[in-house]
Structure 1
Amino acid sequence: MDWTPLDIENKRFRTSWRGYDKREVELFLHQLAEDLHRLQLDRKELEKELHQLRKENAEHRDREKAIRNVLFNAQKATEQIKANAEKEAKLIIADAELKAEKILQTAHQRLAQLHEDIHELKRQRTQLETKLRSTIETYRQLLDMEKEDGDAELENKIKFLNR
C-alpha cells in the first residue's frame, strides 16, 4: 500500500494497557508524515527534473543525429567532389596526351615532308647542274667552233691577200 502523509497522520492505533505513549506515537507519526510529504515533493521535483533531462537528452540525441547526418553528407559530398575531380583530371591528362600525340605525329609528318622536299631539291639541283654543265659545254664547243671558223676564215683571207 502506498502511504500518503495524510494516511500516516490519520492512522490510529489501538491502545492497550502498557502500550506506547500516545503522545510520542502521534509526534512520531506527525514527523513521519512531514518527512514523507517532503520526500514526495522531492520525488515530484526529481521526476520533473528527470522528465526535463530526458527531453533535453532526446533533443541532444536529435541534434547529434542531425550533426552526424550533416557530417556524413559532407563526407559523402567531399568524396564525390574528389572522385569527380580525379575523373576530370584524368580526362584532362588524357586529352593533353592525345593532343601531344597529335602534335608529335604532325611534327613527324612535317619532318618527313621536309626530308622529301630536301631530297627533291637536291635532285633538282643535281639535274640543273647537269643541264648547266651541258649548256656551258655546248656554248664552249660553239665558241671553239666559231673560233676555228674565224681562224680558218682569217687564214683564208690572209692566203687570199698573200697571193
Structure 2
Amino acid sequence: MVLSPQDIHNKEFSVKMRGYNIDEVNDYLDRIIKDYQLTLEDNESLKKKLSSANEQLEHFNGMKDSLNQSIIVAQNAADNLKSNAEKDSKEIYQTSHKKADKILDDASDKADLIIKNASDRAKSLLTVNDDLHKSTAQFKQKIQNLLNSQIELLNNDKWDQVINSSDDNYDNVLKKVNELDNSKSAGVKSVNNDESNDKNIEVFYPDGSSKIIK
C-alpha cells in the first residue's frame, strides 16, 4: 500500500537514549512530506495526462483506421475512375475515329462528284465549242459562197450586153417616135389598125431577155 503524506505525518517513533534529535527528524519529515505530496500531485497529473494521451491515441488510432479506410475507398474509387476513364477514352477514340473516317469518306465522295460534274461540264462545253466552231465555219462558207456567186454575177458579160442593148433600143425607139411625130406634122394619113399592128417594138431587159410589144 502506498503511503500518503498524512501517514508519514502521523507516524510515531519510539524514543531511546542517545537517539536522533526529535526536532530535526520532524523538520526533515516535514520536508519529506512536502516533497512526497508534490511527487504524488505530479504523479496524479502525469496519470491524467497519460489517460488523456491514451484517449487521444485511441482517437487518433480510430481516425487512422478511418483514414486508412477512406484511403482504401479513395484508391478504389480512383482505380474505378481511371478504369472508367480509360474505357470512356477508348470508346470516345473509336467513335471519333469512325466519325473522322465517315467525314473523310463523305468529303471524298463529294470531291469525286464535284470533279465528275466539272469534267462532264467541261466535256459539254468542249462539245458546244466544237459545234460553234463548225457552225461558224459553215456560216462563213455560206457567206463566202453567196459573195462569190454575187461577184460572179457582177462579172457576167450579160451586164454589158444588157447595157449596150438598152442604149441601142432607146435610140431605135426614139428614132421611131420622131418619125411618127414627123409624119403627123406632114399630114400623112394614119395607117389602119391592121397596118399599125404590124409595127412592133422590141424591149430588152437587164437580165438579157427581150419582149416584142405590138
Smaller-chain TM-score range? 0.5 to 0.7
Structure in which a larger fraction of residues adopt helix: 1
TM-score w.r.t. length of structure 2: 0.47
How many residue pairs match? The answer is: 120
Tell me, which stretches of 5 or more residues in structure 1 are unaligned?
A: 1-37
Residue equivalent to 2:164: 155
Match of 1:62 among 58, 73, 79: 73
Distance 2:81 2:134 in 1: 78
Residue equivalent to 2:99: 88
- Matched to 2:90, the amino acid is E
Distance change >3 Å, CA 59–CA 159, structure 1 → 2: closer
Tell me, which stretches of 5 or more residues in structure 2 are unaligned?
A: 1-46, 176-214
Superposed counterparts of 1:1-163, under 5 Å: 53-145=64-156, 148-157=157-166, 161=171
Residue equivalent to 1:15: none
Distance 2:133 2:73 in 1: 88
Aligned residues: CA RMSD? 2.9
Give the structure, 1 or 2, with the largest relative contact order (CA under 8 Å, sep 6 or more). Answer: 1
- Spell out, residue by residue over 1:129-163, the C-alpha distance to the aligned partner (whole angstroms, 9 max, x if none): 12111111222222233xx3331133335556599
Percent of aligned positions with the same letter in both sequences? 23
TM-score w.r.t. length of structure 1: 0.60
- Runs of 4 or more consecutive aligned structure 1 residues displaced over 6 Å after TM superposition: 44-49
Distance change >3 Å, CA 114–CA 157, structure 1 → 2: closer
Structure index of larger Rg: 2
